Amino acid sequence: MLTINRRDPRPIWQQLLDQAIHNITSGNWPPGEVLLPSRELAAVIGVSRSTVQIVYEELHSRGYTVTSRRGGTRVSEWIEASRPAEERIVHGPALPDMPLLDEAVGQLQEWFGGVAKTTPTIDFTPHEPYLDEQFRTRWRQSFLQVSATSDLSHWAYGDSRGLLSLREQIQRYLSLERGVHVGVDQILLTSGAQHNIDLIAQALLQEGDTVAVEDPGFPAAWMALRYRRMEVAAVPVDDSGLCVDELPSASKLVYVTPSHQCAVGAILSEPRRQRLLRLAVERSFWIVEDDYDSEFRYRGDPLPTLFSQRPEHTLYMMSFSKMIAPGIRVSAIVGPPEAIRRLARVQEFTYRHLPIMEQLTLSHFIEHGHFMRHMRRVRNVYRRRHEAMTRAIVASGLSERFRLSGVETGLHMLLEAESGYDEKGGTLEALRQGIRVYPLSNYGLVSGRKGWVLGFAQVEEDRIEAGIERLAEILLTP
């Protein structure tokens, strides 16, 4: 029988409906059982007939009951009584094996530093930029401003290329700061480097195509390409950057970080730049130029882009992950109009477009000068920390035992060890003593090179000195 609890905050009809559904699904009211007429049930329970009619209508609309003029309201025949919970064994569909995904995620976790059981005292992460309260205050101002003033049209489905005002701000920045002069239709907004590479693989390549990547290099690049069933060819890197003459002749795409090689930190030399650009024309392949931290250069101005010299064969990737913060998840691909149109079609089909508030906030942040003020401020911070890092490495003796490189640009540098050195042991011992460093082997595809990629953006100058001194004691101890 259905009952009413006057202390229950739920409406009476909802109480009765929940009890009725429980009786049906538990088997108390078996399939085919006829329910009391609404008038009779209302009198028994002590409620209005309209309340019971609401309950019966809900049961019918959800398929728990069927009605007829002669047969009244009865429990549907499809209803099966549920077994008690202790007897029920429910298994969902079997999940397919996805070894490429599992392998890639595991490698990415290791690349980011793994899952440490203890929190390090000093973390020389190369992945995170410097952030302060001033940034948060300015970002919050932009967010609140656009929240209050944004047009309602912004909340509809938007352009798959991204918010026009933000693309205009990026267009202006690239022209003034990087010498990249393009139309707004040549800019596609995305959510990071992996998103970029995934779009490129879907839109501009075919399964089985050969793609060339730096080795050591950016792990997410070859992982994303492998996941899309590309044949990934590892091309070695030396002091002059990518060894261009070792590119496979069948390459359909070459991924490169020419301004500050992702792991080693080398700058792609001018002869190799020109050789790469010539080969792109002769062999008709794409160059994907990842310009992830070229804005932070300690010797002169940022280097010219490959895109500015060969725009018809180059896809230029820029990201706000290092310039501002990775949590913003805004980046861009710049390329020839036809290629960007193709990429935008894939984006429209698979992702549609980026969340609107991040785009509006970033557009306001740039337009009102907060971005350039932020860049000037962090450049000064990075310059001081870069000097502290190089000075500490030299003073500690680490640069005598290990090879120091990649100090001209960016937010990390490399201490490279000999091939026989116990990189893993040194990394684990440093972590046990509160210092997290990032092994070069995690950046390698087949190269086997060893050492540590050391970032300094998030470590204060005095802690840099203390951390490097401690690291030297660990790594230089026989």
SS3 of the chain: the string is CCCCCCCCCCCHHHHHHHHHHHHHHHCCCCCCCECCCHHHHHHHHCCCHHHHHHHHHHHHHCCCEEEECCCEEEECCCCCCCCCHHHCCCCCCCCCCCHHHHHHHHHHHHHCCCCCCCCCCEECCCCCCCCCHHHHHHHHHHHHHHHHHCCHHHHCCCCCCCCHHHHHHHHHHHHHHHCCCCCHHHEEEECCHHHHHHHHHHHHCCCCCEEEEEECCCHHHHHHHHHCCCEEEEEEEECCEECHHHCCCCEEEEEECCCCCCCCCCCCCHHHHHHHHHHHHHHCCEEEEECCCCCCECCCCCCCCCCCCCCCCEEEEEEHHHHCCHHHCCEEEECCHHHHHHHHHHHHHHCCCCCHHHHHHHHHHHHCCHHHHHHHHHHHHHHHHHHHHHHHHHHHCHHHHCEEECCCECCEEEEEECCCCCHHHHHHHHHHCCEECEEHHHHCCCCCCEEEEEECCCCCHHHHHHHHHHHHHHHCCC
| Per-residue pLDDT at 331 | 94
Q: Which CATH class is domain 101-131+373-475?
A: alpha beta
Pull the structure tokens for residue 106.
């595991």
Question: Could you tell me the residue ranges of all domains in the chain?
Answer: 12-85, 101-131+373-475, 133-368
- Phi, psi angles (nearest 5°) of residue 297: -120, 135
Mean pLDDT of 439-451: 93
Which region holds residue 76: left if phi is over 0, alpha if psi is between -120 and 50, else beta? beta
The Cα–Cα gap between 100 and 93 comes to: 20
Handedness of CA 416, 417, 420, 425 (dihedral sign): negative
Q: Which residue has the tokens 């740039």?
A: 366
- Quick one: pLDDT at residue 397? 94
d(CA 444, CA 263): 9
**Tell me, what's the pLDDT at 155?**
85
Binned at pLDDT 50, 70 and 90, residue 381 comes out as: very high
- Residue 83, pLDDT > 90, answer no
Average pLDDT score over residue span 116-145: 90
CA–CA gap between residue 106 and residue 108 (Å, rounded): 5
Arithmetic mean of pLDDT, 46-69? 91
The candidate with the shortest Cα–Cα distance to 78, out of 88, 93, 64, 98, is 64
Residues 477, 281: Cα–Cα separation, whole Å: 51
Neighbours of 71 (CB within 10 A): 10
**What average pLDDT does range 107-115 have in this prediction?**
71
And the tokens for 325? 């913060």
Kindly indicate the confidence band of residue 89, based on its pLDDT and cuts at 50, 70 and 90: low
For residue 463, the model assigns a pLDDT of 95
Q: Taking residues 137-143, what's their average pLDDT? A: 95
According to the model, what pLDDT value does residue 169 have?
96
Question: Distance between CA 273 and CA 51 in Å, rounded?
Answer: 79
Structure confidence by residue, pLDDT tens digits, 5-47: 888 899 999 999 999 999 998 888 999 899 998 899 889 898 9
Express as a percent the part of the chain with pLDDT over 90: 69
Give the pLDDT of residue 469.
95
Contacts of 323 (CB under 8 A, 6+ apart): 129, 295, 371, 375
List CB contacts of 456: < 8 A, sequence separation 6 or more.
124, 382, 385, 386, 388, 389, 411, 412, 413, 464
**Topology of the domain covering 12-85:** Arc Repressor Mutant, subunit A (1.10.10)
Q: What is the pLDDT of residue 114?
A: 65
Q: d(Cα 409, Cα 406) in Å, to the nearest integer?
A: 7
pLDDT at 225 over 80: yes
Please identify, in words, the CATH class of the domain defined by 133-368: alpha beta
Query: In this model, does residue 84 exceed pLDDT 70?
Result: no
Is pLDDT above 80 for 261? yes
Of 419, 404, 407, 477, the closest CA to residue 450 belongs to 419
Which of 331, 322, 439, 462 minimizes the C-alpha distance to 389? Answer: 462
Mean pLDDT of the 309-324 span:
93
Q: Enter the tokens of residue 299.
A: 């010797």
Closest residue by Cα to residue 324 from 351, 302, 355, 295: 295
Determine the pLDDT at residue 366: 96
